A and B are shown apart, each in its own frame.
Chain A
């Protein structure tokens, strides 16, 4: 057999042959547009005029000095950071719950997974109705319990205008993001919890460790690297997301919920200024890269210990 040295028996040859098509497709499909995005940023290309004229750093400078962009950038970061805090807290609780056995687990898991399973834009339709300016069922409940309406505790008005006031619209968007992203982080943490070797847990039990102590001193430190991965996933998903605000607010009121992805869509596609749209979205890249490198390093360092 070995004498024939048939190429399909060769480990390295088959490995290359198997890996190359996928790598090529991905590099072509992600690498090329990515380079093109950078080139667009240095040009004056629009939907109408597609010649690539080199204009230097003009777009980047114009974007950076734009007050709206500054606010959009800040909002994106604020939304991402605040929501991550809540996502991590809830995901940890839920991951511990769903790695245990209890009655009705299958159904409870179905319910809790729904916000993540539903295509984002469709789930947002539900929230658009829940947070409607006039017909919001939440407002109705608050009205009935005396929190709203004449002499109401929260407001004298019959409605809170969830998506139409500066503060509340931001809170609403963050709440909805937490609602839909918690399951993803939970699932990743569940993978971490279920990969803890059972002999460690058995040993802890033999040593008389109670539930909370096992959780805090054994399980949580062990899944710390996976927690970082979960954080990385949900931060990057959230940072690049425009679907939630596209359906809920279109960036309004004024610019209060406009995030980077949406702004680049509005300038680049709706406004037809491809060059500036590309420049806007590229500002996200260094931040995403730094985030990914930092977190992967933290994760691998934690793994070594």
Chain B
């Protein structure tokens, strides 16, 4: 707490200092490597506008998250009474984080989201792995048409379908049951992952499968034993993005489930942590940030893979 308190009290100064220190280190390293020549300084000067542009974009992207971080630790008095949002006048507190985990349904939201996400990922993989392979390799014109159809289906927004879906969910007796989300979410995760996966499958050299066929495998075995292991990195990134798609979904979750304890994160946090006109701001902001950071890291980690799958998926096979 002492360290956290010190960091928060000096938040902005530390942020600027950290940045300047990194810049200084980087320049020092270049000088160490290339010598303190005039050309070197000219290079640094020439590059700085570029970094300024990057910095500006980063600032706009990060601003709300920095504020979310700071404000999660503010006491009510500090937050609401003659507000000075950028400094701490009272010592930071962990009571709101404590309240978020112990007095709200936050942990249940997380559990529901994880359960729904894992189940949807499994259904999606079972359906889309073979289908994507068929799109990438096996079918000719017929497959191209099916691929186009999938693309168009992906473009039908949930706002068009949630009303009839709601009726169907009620008829099936699945209202207020996360099962309804598990059944419905593949409607957008399957087209998405089929598209991505077919990109990864196209990247596997066809000669390898042909060799497997010559060795006496049938086509299903060639797919299972040769293509799948070779596309494992692509499959993992598909899993990550499918999971986060379910985490993002809002409308179906809002419409199908009214029971607090059954709601998912994206719906539960903004609807259950706001009571009428009463906003529990610190827990709200913390609840959002706690999810944002890991998902952001996962996206960044798998971004190159996503770009690659996207590129290959767009190339006609």
Contact A113 B187 (CB under 8 A): no
Judge whether A212 is part of the interface by a CB distance below 8 angstroms: no
* From A126, A242, A278, contact of B164 by CB (8 A): A278
State the Cβ distance, B54 to closest chain A Cβ, in Å.
5
Judge whether B299 is part of the interface by a CB distance below 8 angstroms: yes
Given A15-B143, A18-B131, A104-B22, does the pair A240, B159 have CB atoms closer than 8 Å? yes
Chain A contacts for B228, CB-based, 8 A: none
Select the stretch in B8-16, B57-65, B89-97 that faces chain A.
Answer: B57-65
Chain A contacts for B299, CB-based, 8 A: 113, 116-117
Chain A contacts for B238, CB-based, 8 A: none
Interface magnitude class on chain A = 35 or more
* From B83, B138, B163, B291, contact of A274 by CB (8 A): B163
Docked complex Cα distance between A199 and B162 (Å): 48
Chain A contacts for B255, CB-based, 8 A: 265, 269
Judge whether A121 is part of the interface by a CB distance below 8 angstroms: yes
Chain A contacts for B135, CB-based, 8 A: 19
Contact B131 A243 (CB under 8 A): no
Contact B159 A260 (CB under 8 A): yes
State the Cβ distance, A299 to closest chain B Cβ, in Å.
10
State the Cβ distance, A111 to closest chain B Cβ, in Å.
5
Contact B86 A140 (CB under 8 A): yes
Docked complex Cα distance between A287 and B168 (Å): 26
* From B64, B163, B314, contact of A281 by CB (8 A): B163
Using CB atoms, name the residue of chain B closest to A45.
B167
Contact A126 B297 (CB under 8 A): no
| A interface secondary structure, majority | helix
Contact A292 B303 (CB under 8 A): no
B-facing residues in A72-123 (Cβ within 8 Å): 90, 93-94, 97, 102-104, 106, 108-123
* From B134, B153, B250, B287, contact of A19 by CB (8 A): B134
Chain B contacts for A140, CB-based, 8 A: 83-86
Docked complex Cα distance between A125 and B58 (Å): 19
State the Cβ distance, A265 to closest chain B Cβ, in Å.
7
A247-291 vs B, Cβ < 8 Å mask (1 yes, 0 no): 100000000000011001100110000100110011011001000
* From A23, A30, A124, A187, contact of B310 by CB (8 A): A187
Contact A292 B152 (CB under 8 A): yes
Chain B contacts for A25, CB-based, 8 A: 127, 186, 190
* From A115, A194, A282, contact of B61 by CB (8 A): A115
Docked complex Cα distance between A43 and B33 (Å): 76
| B interface secondary structure, majority | helix
* From B184, B220, B251, contact of A243 by CB (8 A): B251
Chain B contacts for A260, CB-based, 8 A: 159
Q: Other CB < 8 Å A-B pairs besides A22-B128, A116-B299, A129-B68, 8 of them?
A: A6-B218, A15-B142, A26-B150, A37-B164, A40-B167, A120-B250, A124-B270, A284-B157
Interface centre among A29, A232, A261 (most CB of B within 10 A): A29
Contact A50 B167 (CB under 8 A): yes
Interface centre among B153, B160, B186 (most CB of A within 10 A): B160
Docked complex Cα distance between A108 and B139 (Å): 42
State the Cβ distance, B194 to closest chain A Cβ, in Å.
6
Judge whether A127 is part of the interface by a CB distance below 8 angstroms: yes
Judge whether B2 is part of the interface by a CB distance below 8 angstroms: no
Contact B160 A135 (CB under 8 A): no
State the Cβ distance, A133 to closest chain B Cβ, in Å.
11
Judge whether B39 is part of the interface by a CB distance below 8 angstroms: no
Contact B307 A187 (CB under 8 A): yes
* From A102, A110, A117, A195, contact of B50 by CB (8 A): A102
State the Cβ distance, A234 to closest chain B Cβ, in Å.
12
Contact B64 A112 (CB under 8 A): no
Contact B303 A40 (CB under 8 A): no
29 pairs, A vs B, C-beta closer than 8 Å: A16-B139, A29-B183, A33-B161, A37-B164, A40-B164, A40-B167, A97-B54, A112-B57, A113-B300, A117-B295, A117-B298, A119-B247, A121-B267, A122-B269, A125-B285, A130-B67, A137-B67, A140-B85, A195-B314, A226-B314, A240-B160, A242-B159, A265-B162, A269-B163, A278-B163, A281-B163, A284-B157, A288-B156, A292-B155
State the Cβ distance, A124 to closest chain B Cβ, in Å.
7
* From A23, A93, A110, A115, contact of B297 by CB (8 A): A110
Judge whether A236 is part of the interface by a CB distance below 8 angstroms: yes
Judge whether A222 is part of the interface by a CB distance below 8 angstroms: no
Chain B contacts for A226, CB-based, 8 A: 314
Contact A8 B218 (CB under 8 A): yes
B98-133 vs A, Cβ < 8 Å mask (1 yes, 0 no): 000000000000000000000000000001101101
